[in-house]
Structure 1
Amino acid sequence: MFAIAASTVTSWGLYVLLPIFIAFLFFIMWDISKTSDAGRAGTFWIFLALGAGSVGFILKIVMEVAFKKWLI
């Protein structure tokens, strides 16, 4: 019915939908820190522990773009 290439679905999912999901996860972390009265130190540790995977994914994308642009 719809002719959408697999690469189009992959790129939309990877570069559009996944960052939206990551932003939603950061909102959830902020909400957890506010509802649990974590304070400054607790909020820091929540974002550090739970946000490390998201930051790693973002750095991976940046490194891929940099390597494509400058090395190849």
Structure 2
Amino acid sequence: MFAIAASTVTSWGLYVLLPIFIAFLFFIVWDISKKSEAGRAGTFWIFLALGAGFVGFLLKLLLEVAFQRWFI
């Protein structure tokens, strides 16, 4: 009755749900750093590590679009 293609589920999960999950992780890390009184330096390093992973994810998306547009 409600047939959804596997590619649709995958694209929704990758491009919509994963960024929402990453944003939720940023909130969790911020909350933990405040509760544990990590200080400014500790909070900076925690967010730098999580932010590097998020930037890597965004770069992957941009590279996929660039390769599809210019090489295929």
Count matched residues: 72
Matches within 5 A, 1:1-72: 1-72=1-72
The code of the aligned residue for 1:67 comes to: F
**RMSD (Å), alpha carbons:** 1.5
TM-score (norm 1): 0.84
Query: Mean alpha-carbon deviation: is it higher for 43-52 or for 19-28?
Result: 43-52
TM-score (norm 2): 0.84
Q: Which runs of 5+ in 1 are unaligned?
A: none
Percent identical: 85
